[in-house]
Amino acid sequence: MDVSAIAVGTDFVDQVERAISTSDVSLVVMGPNWLGATDPEGRRRLDDPEDHVRSEVRSALASPNPVVPVQVGDASLPTEDQLPDDLKALARRQAVELRDETWSEDVEMLVRRLEGKETVGKSRRWIPVAIGLVVLGVAGVLIWQAQTDGDGDLPPCPARDGTWIPVEMAEDATEVEPLPDGRALLYRVGRTDYKYESGQWPIVLDVRLENVSEDVEGIDDHIGYGDTAFHALRVDRVSAGPPTCFEARGDRDLAPEEAEIARVGFISLVDPTEASLMLETDGPLMIQITPGA
């Protein structure tokens, strides 16, 4: 469940509280500026009892389920005297840090601890679904839900309208991922747009994928692709996590020299305006999307 999944006319607060109460665990995500983030009038958001994220964290702490503070972007864990009374218990919860340089390993360790298992099974993955995340990563409540692994599980990306803002692209946002048996898949990031929506920034990329395999006799040189070809989007080095939407605009099985366009979307907790954007493939390749970063 995310904010876009709440039906029009539905009580937003009621739906969020229902989601928190039925979740297995709530993660409170804290970015580097979460303590000082302000509303349009310059007031600290954490000081507003009616702020949606503060109420979500309050509801999570009042539930019987575990609440885990998650620090990203080198954020510090707050002390009790830095928090309003109804959130002070958050400072006493065991926290987890997700670091840029070891993001995949840290997330895997978090998943293992959440599942109470020593390994993460390949038959499924755990995906964070954000609900009501605050500007600049003030604090947010995430619900972890089990989903089957495999392409085709994600919804299509939303249509772009006048509210989307185009990103100035680097001159050559292109990388080639070598595959076994002389095969290779070329990624070229094209149009990229974002917008602000309910305390977070959806970002949608058009990515051209081309089979640039060598002609190897006796080898199946077709390459299939899907949402699992994209690992994460990094916004000023802070990971936006795995894709939240995906759609292929053609055949997902590419013959040599064949190319198709895929649309892939992410939800960022960091404002992408003038930010450094990098796309991480499943390779993993790091493709620089924005210039001068």
pLDDT in tens, the chain (293 residues): 344 444 445 455 666 666 676 677 888 888 877 877 777 778 888 888 888 778 888 888 888 888 888 888 888 888 999 999 999 999 988 888 888 788 777 887 887 777 665 443 333 333 343 333 332 333 444 444 333 334 446 889 988 888 999 999 998 999 999 888 788 999 999 999 999 987 889 999 999 999 998 776 666 788 888 888 898 899 988 888 789 999 988 778 898 899 999 999 999 988 999 899 999 998 778 999 998 65
Q: Count CB atoms within 10 A of the CB of residue 289.
A: 25
Per-residue pLDDT, 252? 83
DSSP strand pairing (259-268 vs 201-211)? antiparallel
Q: Measured at the alpha carbon of residue 72, what is the angle toward residues 175 and 57, in degrees to the nearest 5?
A: 130
- Give the span between the Cα atoms of 126 and 123, in whole angstroms: 11
The DSSP secondary-structure symbol of 88 reads G
Per-residue pLDDT, 22? 66
pTM of structure: 0.52
Phi, psi torsion values for 102, nearest 5 degrees: -130, 35
H/E segment holding residue 254:
strand 253-254
Here the tokens at position 192 are: 């990229």
Distance of CA 285 to the CA centre of its chain: 17
- Do 290 and 269 form a contact (C-beta atoms < 8 A)? no
Architecture of domain 165-288: Sandwich (2.60)
Per-residue pLDDT, 218? 62
The domain limits of the chain are 3-148, 165-288
Q: Of 67, 72, 75, 61, which is closest to residue 98 (Cα–Cα)?
A: 72
Cα 61 to Cα 4, 19, 68, 79, distances in angstroms:
24, 14, 10, 16
85-89 long-range contacts (CB < 8 A, ≥24 apart) are 86/49, 86/54, 86/58, 86/61, 87/46, 87/54, 87/57, 87/58, 87/61, 89/61
Answer yes or no: CATH 1.10.3470 is held by domain 3-148: no
Per-residue pLDDT, 216? 65
Q: Enumerate residues 6+ apart whose C-beta is below 8 A from 167.
A: 192, 193, 194, 272, 277, 289, 290
Q: How far separated are the first and last CA of the chain, in Å rounded?
A: 34
Per-residue pLDDT, 137? 36
Cα 19 to Cα 41, 182, 197, 224, 288, distances in angstroms:
30, 47, 19, 36, 36
- Give the span between the Cα atoms of 27 and 47, in whole angstroms: 20
